[in-house]
């Protein structure tokens, strides 16, 4: 069906929401051969009902030896501490690892210890996997810490504006983020019980969310970040408030964003037509729109992604594509 | 505010969805004094956030002695086996008990053992608490087994038609029932996890649901009953299919239902305008509509209730009102 | 049933969402006699399905003479321009008018002309109907411009803090507001079509929403306000970001809010337990919680209301209660 | 990227929900070249926001001459009467036409006049486009009347059982169908207004739905069919009730269905694990499960499809693939 030499890939954590999305995408990726899907150690083999006739092999219990002997690259869709444990032996075994957890994202050791106390020190060379901003380093990567879902939308929106000096550095940036419930994972909890979410909305993690730290690391500035749990399954919308630097107007904003993303296949700039979750659901796109009030010296940006695709499985595959020299959109369209 | 002598009532299982609904309704019931709200034995006192300024007392751990000494009547919103255990000592202690569980609904001992194997034999005198059909017996009741949510809508719709001989007894009645997720209770499970329900629909319990047996007991005929889990919080809609007896048309159906319910404040007959869940949510109404095809000798009835009100807390209070000689709608409007 | 002398009330715009909510509440209000429910001029009499057996009279076409001759007070749940037209003759006819539209809310004539170009100048004496902040003036009111849904939650949260000088006046306040779709009214549009909203979220009206002007009028300071359309039916949650004045911490914030609202029956302060829409839906409560970061000099407030109750019909009745000297919560519990 | 000779295709009705789904699928179909997307006659060119960077051409106004001169095959996603008008000239112009409307589905002229009074007589040779049951005739087709959404799930489930004589022919089959709101199209109506659907469920079209007639035509027997409007965007679940012929049990049912579909790539038989809408959403699969009660001589089947894919755009493309001799699943995986 194609002329790529196929990379043998494995997925660990294959029964969670991001894991199933990885299986769905990788099973038809023209340059990947999906050779292993694993869950928790000792787990019974289990089929994924939604993938019948798409990918009919079972998800087996974790087996590190098999992973090392049979794959070239491994995707980890695990809790932080489990990823922290399994990534180093895979790297040592010569595998290229794409980790969807937060275990390796924070570079400053002290900061990481505060926010991820259960994860040991990371291997030396980690590349932060926000594809659009790190293509060069991804090509030479061994271990990729794929960007978090909330940080992906926030950093893509803000970094080009900060880099171009278009925002007032003294005024606090506010990121009001809203996510579908699949972002909280597959384990049933009171918080994610259907009757608790349906017809409701709640804020959580104010001043206490690890994604705030990740965003601040990548932007190099403080932000106020408040996430909310939306009564939808998948999708994130972030409304971002900042003060413009003197003299900055709509033209400068548009120019900076277009310069940053016109060659990026998965960032769609919608300008004054603000994006909606509906338009990015089930895709790898990040849609970014904005409104500027010169009178009020204020900018409001709105960014949308599908948290399980561009915020997780899709971006991991995008990173994989860049890392192995494939077309960035392979298997993602 | 009124001249009723107040009945002292307690609620056990007060933190579940039906329990909170009982607290909400009883705390402003003009003839009830809510003196005790209890959860599991040993549970820490806990406030219900949605009831702040409505009913500010805590829900305490279960304490049978306090219940017996301080109340006249007790509402049980518990799992079947817990209700089966606690109801007899309350009855022995002279309390009038309104049980929302299934523990005491089935009269035939062999049938009950098959479908409720964990519940011991019931006390001798149990009144089945479907208010509209049992007012006389409710007045003299000690222990009321309030009707199940699905059975309430099904029995209210079908029994007057069967009693009047309007349906073909040889043809199987089909009850296709759809319920909001709160009907499955407050304990988080994979089945009731938000992301599993949102945007989806599933059937369950085919040929295996205890409410089918309860319906068959009350109707005296076999039915095929299939429940489904709707992606909404509260409300039940049942679509009921039957074959008409020879010569029966729309007029006979309407006459039988109006004769049965024109004096019942909580049954609204909507005729050819089929009811919708939206119109009964947060109320104690059961709306019933129907369409008849004389050509096809077929009737389709549609019945709607709020599963937490008419299907649980509301009907229990309606039973309480009748049992104590109050106006049937007291505290329910 | 009670000893109040009843006020004869009429509702105009009685088939919209706020109108039906008014009928539901007023039909059982112990001090109100609901004598007229009207829709558009010339409209056919029409029953409201959800109110059967609650309030069985039809909604008739608008008839100003009947309104004036039969009522003491009139509630208007109409589009702005229709309310602007009908309120003055009612006031001239000696009626006390409670207007739920935006027609009379803005006091500055130039500002009003800009944002409500279709509404003529208002009568001289208008009282802004945010109950908790205007009780004294409501008692002497003739025409009450009930507060908008978004402004209600925002002003209740912020005004006591601004009045006490607890916020940094130089830093812009951000109000990120999310509303259920019923806030957009009952007229079908592409924007409120089910398939456009379900599973999605969108921002709208950035720098162009009239409620921003209303909030700024009442707070006396500029705010950045962005509303979003939530995929739920009813409820508003606002996340409010401000910078603290020097030396201000959690204690000062809590003290100011408790001083403002401890005697207000419909404002519930939840402190660090942030409120959720679920807890206020179908009630007249405004729940307000907050988190303070002394380190970051930042406060985040979260406020929730039901847009059709505290944000519309409920608050109008609360205003009516105060205006006529009844208990503030009459008919609202 | 592939060696197929590409078929030039056009889509008319390209801004509706099925139309957008056709564009999404055809724009990446390896054997189709999407050369024209059209809406209503005279419509302004308009881009589809969700398809940016997927398919960036505009949807233009209808232009029959361009369609005839530039395409080999045309997909019609139009209202019945518009499809009835435009299909004949396209067929006369030598195009192969895949019509998603109901205009040409009913073969009996008298029946068609009753249920589709606004559509003129159809061209002589129409193939009913339920792919799995009509592959041979599709190969030689000129005009394909793609199966309706509800009929697709019902006929796939029932026809093999009826053909094998496994069901009691004297007992009425009941089909209780539930559909997401996108099935009602994109035009805003009161019925499909968000606040009318959210948190609710309603039945409609009892004894009056044209899909009942279509199902009866294809099955050759009477059925009782009641559709319901689910508060979800996309997906259909049908619960089907029938009486078993004497001596029939689970084995015979399973054998008949497996014989019918084991070679069909888009029918997944789930046996006793009943299907859920979630598992088929955004796919071209029809999942069918069943439960048999030998004791009650009853079978309950549950079938799920995505109404916009297998129920509309996907099946149309599946028909196109068979008609042109491509692999049946091309562009659909």
- Check residue C3 and give its pLDDT: 54
Report the distance separating Cα C170 and Cα C244, nearest Å: 10
Residue D135 CB-density burial (10 A; 0-12 exposed, 13-18 middle, 19+ buried): middle
**What's the gap in Å between the CA of A183 and the closest CA on chain B?**
10
Residue A259 CB-density burial (10 A; 0-12 exposed, 13-18 middle, 19+ buried): exposed
Q: How far is CA D116 from the centre of its chain?
A: 18
SS3 D186: coil
Given D198, D199, D278, which is nearest A50 (Cβ)?
A: D278
All partners of chain A with 3 or more CB pairs under 8 angstroms: B, C, D
User: pLDDT digit string (tens) for B302-320?
Assistant: 999 999 999 999 999 999 9
Given C190, C199, C233, which is nearest D195 (Cβ)?
A: C233
CB C47 within 8 A of CB C59: yes
B146, B149, B286, B304: which one is catalytic? B149
Q: Mean pLDDT, chain D, as a whole number?
A: 95
Q: Mean pLDDT, chain A, as a whole number?
A: 95
- Check residue A2 and give its pLDDT: 47
Report the distance separating Cα B214 and Cα B205, nearest Å: 14
Contacts of residue B332, Cβ cutoff 8 Å, sequence gap at least 6: B25, B266, B284, B314, B317, B318, B321
Tokens 């509402």 found at: B75
User: pLDDT digit string (tens) for A270-303?
Assistant: 999 999 999 999 999 999 999 999 999 999 999 9
pLDDT band at B333 (very low <50, low <70, confident <90, very high): confident
- Check residue C43 and give its pLDDT: 87
- Check residue C200 and give its pLDDT: 97
Report the distance separating Cα D15 and Cα D126, nearest Å: 26
Number of H helices, E strands in chain B: 11, 13
C-alpha to C-alpha distances, A245 to B137, C130, C224, C243, nearest whole angstrom: 78, 37, 17, 19
Tokens 């790539």 found at: D265
**What's the gap in Å between the CA of D304 and the closest CA on chain A?**
12
Residue C21 CB-density burial (10 A; 0-12 exposed, 13-18 middle, 19+ buried): buried
Q: Which strands form C298-305's sheet, in the order they lie side by side?
A: C202-203, C223-229, C173-179, C236-243, C298-305, C286-293, C267-271
- Check residue D1 and give its pLDDT: 41
- Check residue A1 and give its pLDDT: 41
Report the distance separating Cα C106 and Cα A272, nearest Å: 28
Given B203, B243, B281, which is nearest D172 (Cβ)?
A: B243
Given A17, A190, A232, which is nearest B198 (Cβ)?
A: A232
| Cβ separation B265–C49 shorter than 8 A | no
Q: Which strands form A173-179's sheet, in the order they lie side by side?
A: A202-203, A223-229, A173-179, A236-243, A298-305, A286-293, A267-271
Residue in C closest to D229 by C-alpha: C194
| Cβ separation C176–A239 shorter than 8 A | yes
SS3 D289: strand
DSSP string of D49-75?
Answer: GGGTTT--SPBBPP-HHHHHHH-SEEE
Contacts of residue B123, Cβ cutoff 8 Å, sequence gap at least 6: B87, B88, B91, B104, B142, B143
The rounded percent of chain D whose pLDDT value lies above 90 is: 92
Q: Where are the beta strands (DSSP E) in C159-244?
A: 173-179, 202-203, 223-229, 236-243
pLDDT band at A118 (very low <50, low <70, confident <90, very high): confident
C-alpha to C-alpha distances, D143 to A329, D86, D91, D103, D124, nearest whole angstrom: 37, 12, 7, 11, 9
**For residue B188, which residues of chain A lie inside 8 Å, CB to CB?**
188-190, 192-193
Residue in A closest to D277 by C-alpha: A50
| Cβ separation C49–B199 shorter than 8 A | no
| Cβ separation C285–B53 shorter than 8 A | yes
User: pLDDT digit string (tens) for D103-157?
Assistant: 999 999 899 989 998 877 766 789 999 999 999 999 999 999 999 999 999 999 9
CB D172 within 8 A of CB B298: yes
| Cβ separation B285–C28 shorter than 8 A | no
CB D233 within 8 A of CB C195: yes
Dihedral, CA atoms, C44, C47, C49, C52, nearest 10 degrees? 180
**For residue A2, which residues of chain D lie inside 8 Å, CB to CB?**
1
CB A291 within 8 A of CB A300: yes
pLDDT over 80 at D87, yes or no: yes
Comparing CA positions, the residue from D301, D289, D168, D158 lying closest to residue D240 is D301
Tokens 């309704």 found at: B25
pLDDT over 90 at B122, yes or no: no
User: pLDDT digit string (tens) for D183-212?
Assistant: 999 999 999 999 999 999 999 999 999 999
HSE-CB at B221 with a 13 A cutoff on CA atoms is 21
| Cβ separation A54–D333 shorter than 8 A | yes
pLDDT over 50 at D2, yes or no: no
| Cβ separation C235–A200 shorter than 8 A | yes
Q: Mean pLDDT, chain C, as a whole number?
A: 95
- What DSSP designation does B167 have? B
Q: Which strands form B7-12's sheet, in the order they lie side by side?
A: B32-38, B7-12, B73-76, B96-99, B143-146, B126-129
- What DSSP designation does A46 have? B
C-alpha to C-alpha distances, C258 to B36, C152, C245, C248, C329, nearest whole angstrom: 29, 17, 19, 16, 19
Residue in C closest to A293 by C-alpha: C207
Report the distance separating Cα A41 and Cα C117, nearest Å: 67
Report the distance separating Cα D171 and Cα B165, nearest Å: 20
Q: Is some CB atom of chain C closer than 8 A to the CB atom of A207? A: yes
- Check residue C117 and give its pLDDT: 86
User: pLDDT digit string (tens) for A207-218?
Assistant: 999 999 999 999
| Cβ separation A49–D270 shorter than 8 A | yes
**For residue B270, which residues of chain C lie inside 8 Å, CB to CB?**
49, 52
| Cβ separation C195–D182 shorter than 8 A | yes
A146, A149, A197, A304: which one is catalytic? A149
Contacts of residue C1, Cβ cutoff 8 Å, sequence gap at least 6: C30
The angle at the Cα of A279, spanning A277 to A284, to the nearest 5 degrees, equals 90
C149 catalytic? Reply is yes
C146, C149, C286, C304: which one is catalytic? C149
**For residue C192, which residues of chain D lie inside 8 Å, CB to CB?**
188, 193-195
Q: Return residues 61-80 of C near A (CB < 8 Å).
A: none
C-alpha to C-alpha distances, D332 to C37, D24, D285, nearest whole angstrom: 55, 11, 10
Report the distance separating Cα D52 and Cα A278, nearest Å: 13
The rounded percent of chain B whose pLDDT value lies above 70 is: 98
Range of weakest confidence among A119-133, C6-20, C47-61, D242-256: A119-133
Given A28, A52, A279, which is nearest D333 (Cβ)?
A: A28
User: Parallel, antiparallel, or unpaired: how do β-strands D286-293 and D298-305 relate?
Assistant: antiparallel
pLDDT over 90 at C287, yes or no: yes
Tokens 């411009």 found at: C145
User: pLDDT digit string (tens) for C89-132?
Assistant: 999 999 999 999 999 999 998 999 899 988 777 666 899 999 99
SS3 A3: coil
| Cβ separation A198–B17 shorter than 8 A | no
User: pLDDT digit string (tens) for A150-208?
Assistant: 999 999 999 999 999 999 989 999 999 999 999 999 999 999 999 999 999 999 999 99
CB A275 within 8 A of CB A288: yes
Report the distance separating Cα C265 and Cα A196, nearest Å: 25
User: pLDDT digit string (tens) for A46-87?
Assistant: 999 999 999 999 999 999 999 999 999 999 999 999 999 999
- Check residue C4 and give its pLDDT: 61
DSSP string of B239-268?
Answer: EEEEEBPTT--HHHHHHHHHHHHTT-TTEE
φ, ψ dihedrals at D179, nearest 5°: -130, 145
SS3 A273: coil
C169: number of Cβ within 10 Å: 12
pLDDT over 60 at C2, yes or no: no
CB C240 within 8 A of CB C300: yes
The two structure tokens encoding residue D131: 């792919």
**What's the gap in Å between the CA of A48 and the closest CA on chain B?**
13
SS3 B109: helix
Length of chain B measured in residues: 333
**What's the gap in Å between the CA of C99 and the closest CA on chain A?**
28
- Which ipTM value was assigned to this complex? 0.96
The rounded percent of chain C whose pLDDT value lies above 90 is: 92
pLDDT over 70 at A114, yes or no: yes
């Amino acid at each position: 069906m194609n002329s790529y030499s196929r990379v043998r890939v494995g997925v660990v954590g294959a029964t969670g929401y991001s894991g199933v999305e990885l299986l769905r995408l990788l099973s038809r990726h023209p340059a990947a051969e999906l050779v292993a899907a694993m869950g928790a150690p000792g787990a019974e083999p289990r089929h994924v009902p939604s993938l019948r006739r798409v990918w009919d092999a079972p998800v087996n219990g974790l087996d590190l030896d098999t992973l090392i002997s049979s794959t070239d690259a491994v995707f980890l869709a695990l809790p932080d501490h489990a990823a922290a444990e399994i990534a180093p032996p895979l790297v040592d075994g010569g595998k290229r690892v794409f980790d969807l957890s937060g275990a390796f994202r924070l570079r400053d050791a002290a900061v990481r210890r505060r926010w991820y106390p259960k994860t040991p020190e990371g291997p030396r060379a980690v590349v932060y996997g926000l594809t659009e901003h790190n293509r060069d380093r991804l090509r030479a990567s061994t271990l990729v810490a794929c960007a978090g879902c909330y940080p992906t939308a926030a950093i893509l929106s803000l970094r080009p504006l900060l880099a171009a000096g278009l925002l007032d550095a003294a005024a606090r940036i506010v990121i009001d983020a809203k996510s579908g419930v699949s972002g909280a994972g597959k384990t049933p909890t009171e918080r994610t019980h259907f009757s608790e979410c349906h017809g409701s909305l709640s804020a959580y993690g104010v001043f206490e969310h690890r994604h705030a730290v990740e965003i601040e690391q990548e932007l190099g500035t403080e932000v106020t970040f408040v996430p909310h749990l939306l009564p939808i399954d998948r999708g994130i919308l972030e409304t971002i408030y900042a003060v413009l630097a003197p003299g900055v107007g709509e033209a400068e904003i548009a120019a900076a964003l277009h310069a940053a993303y016109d060659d990026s296949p998965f960032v769609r700039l919608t300008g004054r037509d603000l994006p909606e979750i509906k338009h990015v659901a089930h895709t790898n796109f990040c849609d970014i729109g904005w409104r500027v009030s010169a009178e009020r010296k204020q900018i409001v940006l709105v960014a949308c992604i599908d948290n399980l695709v561009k915020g997780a499985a899709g971006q991991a595959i995008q990173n994989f594509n860049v890392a192995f020299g494939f077309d960035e959109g392979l298997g993602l369209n």
